Amino acid sequence: MFRYVILASALLAAAPRPVFTDALVTLLGAPSHDGRFLSLVEQGDLAIRDLSTRRSVRLTRAQGREFAYFSAISRDSKSVAYAWFNAEGFYELRVLPLAGGEPRTLFRNPEAGFVQPCAWTPDGKFILTLLFRKDNVSQIALVPAAGGPAQVLRSLNWVYPKRMDISPDGSTLIYDSFAPGSTTDRTIYSLTLDGTTERRLVEEPGNHLFPLYAPDGKSFYHLSGDALVHRSLQGSARIVQAGMGRALPLGITSAGKLYYGLRQGTSDVFLAPVGNTVQGARRASARFPNRNLAPGFSPGGKQLAYLSRRGAENFGQDSRAVVTLDLESGEETEQPVRMAHIERVQWSFDGRALLLSGTDGKGRGGLFSFDLSTRRTTPLVTEPGGAPKGYDFYPRPGGFFYVDAGVLKNEKQELEGSLADLPARLAGFPLPFPSGVTVWLPPPDALFAVRGTDLLRFSRDGETRTSLPGNLQPGASISRDGKTIALTAGRETREIWVVELP
């Protein structure tokens, strides 16, 4: 049986150290080959950070619904390729000089709703790009940097490589994918850049992810669980750094420095009496601790639905499952919801279904319904290529309200006015009503709002205020009787770290 060999301490990687820990950090970019710059997204715009001065320059100006996503810097540090979500609702591949200027669009196809630039060829002529089509086929492609048709090297049904890289000599690429016959284990493959020869590089079972070529081109690094592994192309492998945590490798510089994103901290769902939310809080889940968020009470208050993080790390949205908790028996059931991303879950007003905001496997963002009897997921209001988070929504008798670009609509997609009108529509409360309302209790008794770390209760008799935990995160729900709150609390951060490789 294959076993990793742990190197002597002199050959282990140097201790990792943080590079950026500020609130603007996103994990959607990469370091330049010379180690001078890091690309990332800052408030929707593509930005370049100088690793010596720690200052950022934004290269784009996002407007409306547009924003930048994944990016990769050319080997000569003169250009950056990036994904851009356009005003028409799909991603296109663009390129910009690092010094600034006008972007050039290299790939634009509504049927390939998502693009992810991963690496440039050493000569700067092609960009290795992942295309994800609306029919759930992902394609490994080379897009000419000077313009022209994309060259598709391999098509993969229902598979999304988490990382791809090009060898220093430009002859092959590596990527991770599911192991043959498995829906859980992942392995790593090499593929010649002409698409003719593919080879499996990791034979042992496990979760082998995020491959990146070493500067010598004769070996590569990847994660197995939370261990960083150095592996020759002939198969021998050694752990060089254990306990990497929730790491997301971004790139290796020519000097042998691995930059990686790191998700730190945890979140969980807690239950508390409305009048004693700090001292009276108790953890909701015993089966899936420290990975839960976004709870929602059932209409009768006897069950709770929430989201629970699952699987290996991913650069985009976390992989999330939907769990229902019986508050009397304590039984937790993972529901077979199949969606690409789920942002929020609430019960329908009649309790027969779960309403979900997010994105399905066909690239449609919006609202969906999961029938608890038939266990089928049905789209309610969707938009091809829409935002991964879907829409904010509020269940009501016979349907729901949802917010589309700041406009309030009903389940028939008919205009219902502004979000500020919602309290009056739900319970006849007078306007104006405070903004920032995130928790609703249906009429006739009261409406609740979370603002900062305060829980506000509004009734026709006035307003009361209760303090919430200081580490509160978005996502809360009030039981129908108004006595219990389910809330999300914890601290999670995104950071950029570096480790010098042996």
pLDDT, tens digit, 9 for 90 and up, residues 123-181: 999 999 999 887 778 899 999 999 999 999 999 877 779 899 999 999 999 999 988 88
Instruction: Name residues whose C-beta falls within 8 Å of residue 482's C-beta, 6 or more positions apart in sequence.
Output: 274, 441, 445, 446, 448, 457
Give the model's pLDDT for residue 278.
78
Q: pLDDT above 70 covers what percent of the chain?
A: 89
Give the model's pLDDT for residue 54.
92
355-362: long-range contacts at Cβ-Cβ below 8 A with a sequence spacing of 24 or more? 355/380, 355/393, 355/395, 355/400, 356/322, 356/390, 357/389, 357/390, 357/391, 357/392, 357/393, 358/388, 358/389, 358/390, 359/386, 359/388, 359/390, 361/136, 361/158, 362/134, 362/135, 362/136
pLDDT, tens digit, 9 for 90 and up, residues 211-245: 999 999 999 999 998 899 999 998 889 999 998 88
Identify the weakest region by mean pLDDT among 39-48, 104-113, 133-142.
133-142
Ramachandran category for residue 436: left, alpha or beta (phi over 0 → left; psi -120 to 50 → alpha):
left
Give the model's pLDDT for residue 7.
40
Neighbouring-strand partners of residue 459: 462
Name the band, by pLDDT with cuts 50, 70 and 90, for residue 112.
confident
Mean pLDDT along residues 408-433? 69
Q: Which token pair is 40?
A: 């990332």
CA 297 to chain CA centroid, nearest Å: 25
**What pTM was computed for the model?**
0.78
Q: Are 275 and 466 in contact (CB under 8 A)?
A: yes
pLDDT reading at 2 higher than 80: no
Q: What is the mean pLDDT of the chain?
A: 87
Mean pLDDT along residues 92-111? 94
- Name the 3-class secondary structure at 40: strand
Give the model's pLDDT for residue 10.
36
Question: What is the spatial order of strands in the sheet that 392-396 belongs to?
Answer: 392-396, 399-404, 407-410, 415-418
Give the model's pLDDT for residue 220.
97
Mean pLDDT along residues 351-365? 87
Identify the weakest region by mean pLDDT among 325-329, 444-448, 478-482, 488-492.
444-448
Whole-angstrom Cα Rg for the chain = 24
pLDDT reading at 335 higher than 60: yes
Give the model's pLDDT for residue 13.
65
Give the model's pLDDT for residue 428.
58
Give the model's pLDDT for residue 475.
78
Identify the weakest region by mean pLDDT among 63-77, 186-200, 334-348, 457-471.
457-471
pLDDT, tens digit, 9 for 90 and up, residues 440-476: 665 556 777 777 788 888 777 777 888 888 788 877 8
pLDDT, tens digit, 9 for 90 and up, residues 399-410: 998 888 778 888
152-159: long-range contacts at Cβ-Cβ below 8 A with a sequence spacing of 24 or more? 152/195, 153/191, 153/193, 153/194, 153/195, 154/191, 154/195, 154/198, 158/361
Q: Which token pair is 321?
A: 């499952």
Give the model's pLDDT for residue 114.
85
Give the model's pLDDT for residue 426.
60
Give the model's pLDDT for residue 9.
36
Mean pLDDT along residues 199-204? 94
DSSP 432: P
Mean pLDDT along residues 261-276? 89
Amino acid (1-letter code) at residue 5 = V
Q: Are 28 and 42 in contact (CB under 8 A)?
A: no
**Omega of the bond leading into 423 within 30 degrees of 0 (cis):** no
Q: Which token pair is 440?
A: 């609703």
Give the model's pLDDT for residue 276.
83
Q: Is the dihedral of CA 152, 156, 158, 162 positive or negative?
A: negative
